[in-house]
Structure 1
Amino acid sequence: MTFLPSSLVKGSVGRRLVSGAGANFLGKVWVLLVQLLFVPVMTAKWGVEGFGVWLMITTIPTYLALSDFGFAMAGGVELTSSVAKGDQDSALKALQTTWVFITSISAIFVAVVFLAAVLWLNLSGSTFAEPFTKSEVFWAICLVTGAAALSLQMTVQKIVFQATHKYALGTILMDLSNFIVSMCVLFSVILGHGIVVAAAVQFVGRLVCALAYMKTRHFYEPWATVGTKHFDKATLKRLFRPSLGALTLTLANSFALQGVVLTIGWALGPGYAAIFATCRMLTRIPLQFSGLLVRASLPELTRSQSQNDPKLTKQLTYWNLRFGLGVLIPSFVLLGILGPTLIDYMSHGEMNAGHLDFLMLGLAAALSGSWTIVGTRLIALNRQGEFAHIALMLYLIVALVPFVSSEDLLLVYLAMILSDAILLYVVNLKDRQ
């Protein structure tokens, strides 16, 4: 990966960045493959409406992730900082406090989703489930929620890999698990099964992968056990403020991603939701690749700032920007030209979108990627609370825009572009302070 300077690549930090970015790249290739396969397979087997229902149900994992109140992110930074300082006692407190909190809150969330699904099942007159039955959608919701809870447990384990210079290993195993589970779901659909079987396959696959992931973590870092012995109230209080910032940022992103899909689906119909989600998926593929180095650099930025190394911190930030923009700008132009042809081919002619749709969504993705790159240095110090509330306000407005659109997504696109432009300005201002 020659985009890094030779002086950085030769050191241990450079090697970890290269391996971490490589692991991220492989993971994104798997994600891209799954995304490109899901659209034609599910629209062919279930129709656009059925695919739209699946997309709406699979927003649940995002909202389950919100139930940790941002503790996974804040706890990961705390754990990385403690390990960098050689303080194992504080590291265990950070890990187990994070695990206890996340496990307790996610259990409550799962129970709430189940009760809400039961209430919805007994409502009459709902057409949300079509072309599936309400009973099928109910069981799919329950199974997808269970799979999401298992995924959250894997996220807690992943912060151990991140904190102990094993970012690449933790990432590639996590992404491999996601790929295997997604492909199993895809094959169940190809074989002609419905939404319940697909959700059941997702749950069982996630269970097997979660157990294997935890076993691997124990093999490499047997000291980093989860439990209640090292749960610490003082650590909980200290993490609460940055975790709220992380929660707010996650909630904001959920409004910008899954929230918009849901409101488009409710206001304009599942068909519109499927078209919008597919177009945006294509325009955000470059965004996923532009973050390869950014994600790998997060623990390194935490260490460099914890150990007071401003030179390395500035160097990491500079190369994050250079690599990220080098991916985003050319991709924005290319998808603006080829996007309509690509979506028509992927959906067997069932979905139609114009060049303007792709240009506007591509611009929004480029702006989003830019402010994310700049904000990484703040996140590495648990300072995400300084801009997260602004992101939440802006993206909430974006999620509500479909309700005032009259069968036209143009206003949604404009709202997305404006919100990301404002965030880029705000995050850049905070980073300079």
Structure 2
Amino acid sequence: MLKNVGSNWFLMLVTAVTTYLLMPFNINKLGTENYGVWIIISSLTAYLFMLHLGTPMASVREMTQAIATKDHEKLNRVVASCAALYVGAGLAVLVLGLPLLWFFETHYVVAADLKSEARLTFVLAVLQTGLAFLATMPYAIFSAYEHFILKNWLMIGQLLIRAALNLVLVLWYPGFLSLSILMLVMSVVELLLCWGYVFKSYPEIRPKPHHATMQTVKDIFGFSLYVFLMVIGSQLAFQTSPLIVGYFMTNADVPSVAVPNALMLILTQFIGGIAAVIMPVATNLQSLDKSHELQAVFLRWSKVAVAVSICACLFLIVFGPAFLKYWIGNAYATASGDVLQILAVSYLIFLPARGVAMPILMGLGNAKWPTIATLISGVLNLVLSVWWANTYGLLGVAWGMAIPNIVLAVALTFLACRELKIPLRTYVAQTVPLALIGGISLYLLLALVSELWHPTSFFGLGFAGILTVGLCGLMWTEMVLRNDAHLRLPRVSDLLRGRFA
């Protein structure tokens, strides 16, 4: 399990590096105004991807059960039925893309000389979304087989190809049209590459049209409806802020919230490296009636997620504005830096619940209440962001995103503890007190370092990151997780004395 999580984290590292290189490159080449238009188009068309109706997560659960019982007939029924759903969803995207294009052109201001390019960019983005359903389905198959390392290497290869093409296309034509062409080309490559690998490596997967049945679709929808509603909540929470900023402010203001949000999404994906492994594990342990092992998995990985979240978020809280100044430019140190710090505070609490509690609940098939909680959180995010955008500007949008994250984290943790029959006070006692002491101590140390020394260069910020990780590792191995019942890590003091075996 640790190897799979590690491969997921390596994928997130590659994602972070490509984002680190490409985001300032694209902003500088396109300009803040044009890049803001691209973010708005991406955020709008991302809503069309919700037409998968929660099928990817539901299909992983159904296929995992079929693989565990070696029921190849059921496996092909699930694959064929999902493929049929995705074809229908792709056609629906093409139809719904037209009114969404009208909404974009009537509610957002684009320079007159760029309107035709923006329209073509939007159309290509819609086509890419329609193809993305079938293109991403093989990843659900890899997850169901728990072949996470294979899945991640394929995704890493595509990330590197996408990064190279991004550089070439934007240098050739520095406009948002280049980015939409890039996304469409990569969806076609992904479709051909991943499905070709599936048919070559999994001989038991040979779906035929007759395998697609209404009963299988109903079984998938019974679970995926909740996932679909959950996706709506997540979409409102993570993809709506650029639209709000672009509507109430200007296109040039959009990157000021999109850049910090992108960093937090990378952290979410990093923690998602745990979630992607835990969900099928939870399904398997439930099938084998190993509830005590599942409780141990929940507590162990919650502690890991808390440690990772505190380390990453405290770095962003203390050194985030300086990082943005070096990474993107001086203009992003103040407004974007404040947004980043607000979001990082909320993610201290949100990430462990999102990375562990959520996949445990979904893996056990208990999607109703997590879905309701996520949907309420997304609606609250939208309402607060719109309400505070006019009064407080970018900071109002940031708080509108942060507060619902904290509420959702508390709700998910409570639901997971109840489902696993772990008293909430037990969970809190085992994960919070020592982590809180360690986190406060780490923050004070980093704040002192920041006051005495203001890193501004690549090497300075890199050293600050290494220092943060080192101090966090020391704090957690020597104090927070010392003699922990669920997670044994080598202590630095033991390593120095050569006692750890």
- Aligned pairs for 1:407-422 (under 5 A) are 407-422=392-407
In the TM superposition, what whole-angstrom CA distance separates every residue of 1:233-258 from its partner, at most 9, and x where no partner exists?
Answer: 12222221311111111111111111
Instruction: Tell me the CA shift for residue 109 of structure 1.
Output: 1.4
**Aligned counterpart, 2:41:** 57
- Aligned pairs for 1:160-309 (under 5 A) are 160-309=141-290
- Aligned pairs for 1:69-108 (under 5 A) are 69-108=53-92
AA aligned opposite 2:350 = S
**Distance in 2 separating the partners of 1:318 and 1:131:** 56
C-alpha distance 287-388 of structure 1, shift in aligned 2 (>3 A) = same
**Distance in 1 separating the partners of 2:48 and 2:160:** 20
Q: Which moved more, 1:393-402 or 1:375-384?
A: 393-402
Is residue 359 of structure 2 the alignment partner of residue 376 of structure 1? yes
Q: Which moved more, 1:93-102 or 1:394-403?
A: 394-403
Is residue 13 of structure 2 the alignment partner of residue 29 of structure 1? yes
**Aligned counterpart, 1:9:** none
**Distance in 2 separating the partners of 1:200 and 1:410:** 33
CA contact (8 A) 1:147 1:206 kept: yes
In the TM superposition, what whole-angstrom CA distance separates every residue of 1:18-77 from its partner, at most 9, and x where no partner exists?
Answer: 332232122212211222123321221111111111111222553232101111111111
Compute the RMSD of aligned alpha carbons: 2.3
**Distance in 2 separating the partners of 1:87 and 1:205:** 33
Q: Which moved more, 1:284-293 or 1:335-344?
A: 284-293
SS at match of 2:209: coil
**Aligned counterpart, 1:358:** 340
Instruction: Tell me the CA shift for residue 281 of structure 1.
Output: 2.2
**Distance in 2 separating the partners of 1:127 and 1:101:** 32
CA contact (8 A) 1:367 1:417 kept: no
In the TM superposition, what whole-angstrom CA distance separates every residue of 1:262-287 from its partner, at most 9, and x where no partner exists?
Answer: 11211122222211111222344333
**Distance in 1 separating the partners of 2:10 and 2:347:** 21
Q: Which moved more, 1:262-271 or 1:183-192?
A: 183-192
SS at match of 1:34: helix
Q: Which has the higher contact order (CA 8 A, sep 6+)?
A: 1
**Distance in 1 separating the partners of 2:259 and 2:4:** 28
In the TM superposition, what whole-angstrom CA distance separates every residue of 1:76-103 from its partner, at most 9, and x where no partner exists?
Answer: 1111112112222222222211221122
C-alpha distance 187-364 of structure 1, shift in aligned 2 (>3 A) = farther
**Distance in 2 separating the partners of 1:330 and 1:57:** 33
Instruction: Tell me the CA shift for residue 201 of structure 1.
Output: 2.8
Instruction: Tell me the CA shift for residue 356 of structure 1.
Output: 4.3
**Distance in 1 separating the partners of 2:383 and 2:249:** 12
Q: Would you say how many aligned residue pairs link Structure 1 and Structure 2?
A: 414
C-alpha distance 175-386 of structure 1, shift in aligned 2 (>3 A) = farther
CA contact (8 A) 2:30 2:174 kept: no
**Distance in 2 separating the partners of 1:391 and 1:199:** 30
**Aligned counterpart, 1:3:** none
C-alpha distance 55-248 of structure 1, shift in aligned 2 (>3 A) = same
**Aligned counterpart, 1:134:** 115
Identity between Structure 1 and Structure 2 (%): 18
TM-score, normalised by the number of residues in structure 1: 0.88
C-alpha distance 267-226 of structure 1, shift in aligned 2 (>3 A) = farther
**Distance in 2 separating the partners of 1:398 and 1:120:** 21
CA contact (8 A) 2:90 2:129 kept: no
Structure with max Cα Rg = 2
**Aligned counterpart, 2:380:** 397
Unaligned runs of 5+ in 1: 1-16
Q: Which moved more, 1:248-257 or 1:278-287?
A: 278-287
**Distance in 2 separating the partners of 1:412 and 1:21:** 33
**Aligned counterpart, 2:436:** none
**Distance in 2 separating the partners of 1:402 and 1:322:** 31
**Distance in 1 separating the partners of 2:93 and 2:369:** 27
CA contact (8 A) 2:298 2:357 kept: yes
SS at match of 1:67: helix
**Distance in 2 separating the partners of 1:213 and 1:248:** 28
